[in-house]
Each structure stands twice: as C-alpha cells, then as structure tokens.
Amino acid sequence: MNITIIGTGYVGLVTGACLAETGNHVFCIDVAAHKIDLLNHGGVPIYELGLQEMIARNRAAGRIHFSTDLAAGAAHGDILFIAVGTPPDEDGSADLQYVLAAARNIGQHMQGFKVIVNKSTVPVGTAQRVQQTIAVELAARAVEHSFSVVSNPEFLKEGEAIGDFMQPDRIVLGCDNDQNGVRAAEIMRCLYAPFNRDHKRILQMDVRSAELTKYAANAMLATRISFINELANLAECMGADIEEVRRGIGPDPRIGNHFLSAGCGYGGSCFPKDVQALIRTASEYHQPLPLLSAVEAVNDAQKQVLVRKIVARLGEDLSAFRFAVWGLAFKPNTDDMREAPSRILIAALLARGATVVAYDPVAMDEARRVFMLDLQNAPAAHARLSLSEDPMQAVAGADALVVVTEWNEFKNPDFQRLRAQLKKPLIFDGRNVYEPAEMSELGIEYHAIGRVYEGF
C-alpha cells in the first residue's frame, strides 16, 4: 500500500520503517527540515535499537522516502498516519496544535478516498476534531473527497520499539460505523495483516473507546509504578525489602511481575504527560480522578527520593562534594531525556552547591542540549556540571556515585576499580541495580530504594 507518515519522531519513524519492512511504499513527512535532511543522508535523528539498519535496508529497496513536502505526502498515501507530538499544554491538557495542523495540511491537499489514522496519543473526541478540521479545508477548496478518521493508538516502548511494533500485544483500531468507517477498517486490517498472523491481535472498537484505551493503559502502568514506589518507601522504614515483596506478590496472575520495579520515579515523554492529560480531560467532564492525582503526586515526590537520601547522609549544603551520575536518559536503550529523573536530581544537587560529573552511554548530545536549557538561568550551577565520555572517569575522585538509569553496562562494573576510584565508597542507587549484601562484602556504603542494607 501507499502510506504517508506525518511526523518522523519516535513513533512516526518506527511506524514508517516497520510498514516499509512489510512491503509498503512509505513516505515520511516532517516540518523539521534538519531531521529530513539527516534521514536523506543515511542518518537517524533518534537512538532506537535496530532502527538505523531497518531504515537503510528499506531506503536501499526504494520503499521509504523522507520529505518536508506536505502536499506530496498528502497525495502519496492511501493511508495517512498522524504521528506528531502532543506535548502538555500549560494546564496539563494535551496540546493538539500539531495534530490539527497536520489535519489542516491533509485537508488542503488530499484527493480521493483517504484513511486518516491518528497514532498520536490524543484525548477522547480528537478524531472528531480532526474529521471536522479536514472537512473545513475541503469545503474551502470547494471539493468533495470522502475519508474516514481511524484511532490507532500506539503502545510501543522506547528502546524496544521495533519489537513492540513488529510483534504487538494488540492492535487497537477505533473505527466509525458508517460506510467510510467500514471501508477504512477493512483497509487497516489488510495493512496490519502481517502483524496479526494468529488473527487475535486486532481489537476493533468505536473511536472514543480506542482513544481512551491508550490513556487507560498508560495510567494503569503509571499506577503500578507509584504503588510499588510508595510501598518501597514504607518497606525501607520497616526494615523490609521491596525486592522480596515484589517476588512475593508477582506470581499471583492477578498481579504479575511486570512494571513493579521500585525506583526514582517514572519519566519519559508519555506517562507524566498522559496521566496529567487524562486528569485534565476528566475534569472537563466534572469527573475528578483522585487516584491518578495521587499517582502523579507520588511520582513527583519519588523523583526527589535520591536527593532526600543524599541530603540525609551528607547534609543540606553539598558544596564540598562531587557526585558522579550514571545514566541520564529516562530509561535504558534510548537517548530520550524528556521528563528524565536525572534532570531533577542534577538540578537539585547543583542548587545545593555540589559538583556533578555525569555519564550516559547514548544521551550525551541530548544532555548537552537539555542542560543548556534547564540551567540557562543558573550559569554558576551549570559551570559545576560536566559530562564525561567514560563511566570510570566520571567516578574518579567523586565523593559518591549516583545511579539513575539501569543501563546494562552499569550492572556489573569492576567493583574493585570503582571502589578505588571513588573518594568515599558510597553509592546511591535509584534503580536497585546492585545487591545490598554484595555491596556490604565489597565495603561499599549502599543506599537503594526500599532495600535492606546492613552496612559493612
């Protein structure tokens, strides 16, 4: 099929590459000329495992093209995916300006029947707004072309995006019940047939339920994380170990093991903004969501947990201390630092006078950009932050190591060397990467999240 993807970010690029991989002719459009230029020169603007190779293979086969030409994009696709950002607006609601701009562009240029697919995460009712926006543009052109807007939320995780897209748990299709909706549903089922070989993955439903399904999934996952973090903090006070508790509850199939890792809070471009947006949408319906407000509040507090532990151990004034920070991305296997707990931690350490040397395996360029913005009003603090290209160099002479992201390369370092490099054998671990008993044996003072550490 001929497919157009509007927006070449984490979702759009992965969707485009995976649909090209299954034989479609894909045209990827973005307003960011520098991204399109990079893609047309063999680069990829984001770090996602396997993506560069997949794009290169499909470019060489002539199945994927990149352009800023919105008119050509609207003309090319029988199916037009909207995969642009929906960042939080000032009041926490999803900012739909990019989605509606994409809809306007489609309406200004489309010819013949089109399936418009909303892949961005959007509040209930957005498909209707997209439909109305396109209709207004068609009316302005005094043309009649039929189309249908499908809600097809995306559930991929960064760092595992290609696997998630190629082997999805489910493919949610929200389609209208009218003639165009039925036609669109058939086309979408055909497009997704290669990802639905056991015929059980596609879940077709009405559009509004599909839109809410995406928020429900993220809200549920965020709730599990805040729940386990709250219990971790309690376990710590009581001398219980949250990892044991997790082991104890996970085998119950009603609970399960996944998404119950205690840590220094959830970040990323999705959970924080989507929980916030759902709370905001609910308030428009005069239906408060106190549970999700608590999930958000617990997470905001949890992002401070490492700072609290550091201050409790070393005092409020940290100007005499130097900290090595391992991990800047909001999770491993991505360069994404949106809402990353590392940003809160580093800003708080610097604000208390500390010196920080940080390292991340792939997010170093992003870190330079992000901290330039985060610390633009605090030049003196910014001057006390440096980035090191090597994890052991970052640790050299530091008073403590703080682990914020559980990259594989941090899981089993040369502990003797690490201990020798640190000025004090002191680790604050925001992701429970190490075993407290092993740290005791190594003579390292260890502070984790909700774990029992008996000292050395």
Ligand X SMILES: O=c1ccn([C@@H]2O[C@H](COP(=O)(O)OP(=O)(O)O[C@H]3O[C@H](CO)[C@@H](O)[C@H](O)[C@H]3O)[C@@H](O)[C@H]2O)c(=O)[nH]1
Binding-site string for ligand X from residue 99 to residue 128, where x marks contact by CB under 6 A and - marks none: ----------------------x-------
Provide the mask over 119-148, with x wherever binding to ligand NAD is found by CB under 6 A and - wherever it is not: -xx---------------------------
Integer Cα distance of 34 and 390 in angstroms: 29
DSSP E strand stretches across 222-327 = 322-326
The nearer residue to ligand NAD, 8 or 93, going by C-beta atoms, is 8
Q: 86, 180, 276, 302: which one contacts ligand NAD (CB under 6 A)?
A: 86
User: Does 10 help bind ligand NAD (rule: CB under 6 A)?
Assistant: yes
> Structure tokens of 308?
């609290």
Nearer to ligand NAD (CB atom), residue 84 or residue 370: 84
Torsions phi, psi for 117 (to 5 deg) = -110, 125
> CA dist 119 to 78, 149, 308, 336, Å?
16, 11, 39, 19
Cβ–Cβ under 8 Å, residues 305 and 430:
yes
Q: Which of residues 102 and 260 has its CB atom nearest to ligand NAD in the complex?
A: 102
Query: 3-class DSSP state for residue 320?
Result: coil
Q: Is 250 helix (H, G, I), strand (E, B) or coil?
A: coil
- 12 or 361, CB closer to ligand NAD? 12
Looking at the DSSP bridge assignments, the partners of residue 27 are: 4, 65
Q: Which of ligand X, ligand NAD, none does residue 298 bind to, with CB < 5 to 8 Å depending on kind?
A: none
CB of 47 to ligand NAD, least distance (A): 12
What part of residues 127-166 is at the interface with ligand X (CB under 6 A)?
A: 154-158
- The footprint of ligand X on residues 331-370 (CB under 6 A) is 331
List the beta bridge partners of residue 5. Answer: 28, 81
Structure token digits, residue 221: 């996952």
166 lies in the site for ligand NAD, by CB under 6 A: no
Residues in Cβ contact with 272 at an 8 Å cutoff, skipping those fewer than 6 apart: 88, 266, 296, 299, 339
- Comparing CB distances to ligand X, the nearer of 137 and 339 is 339
Interaction mask 224-253, ligand X, x per CB under 6 A: -x----------------------------
Known active-site residue 270: yes
In a 3-state reduction of DSSP, which class is residue 289?
coil
Q: Give the residue numbers annotated as catalytic, written as ranges.
A: 270
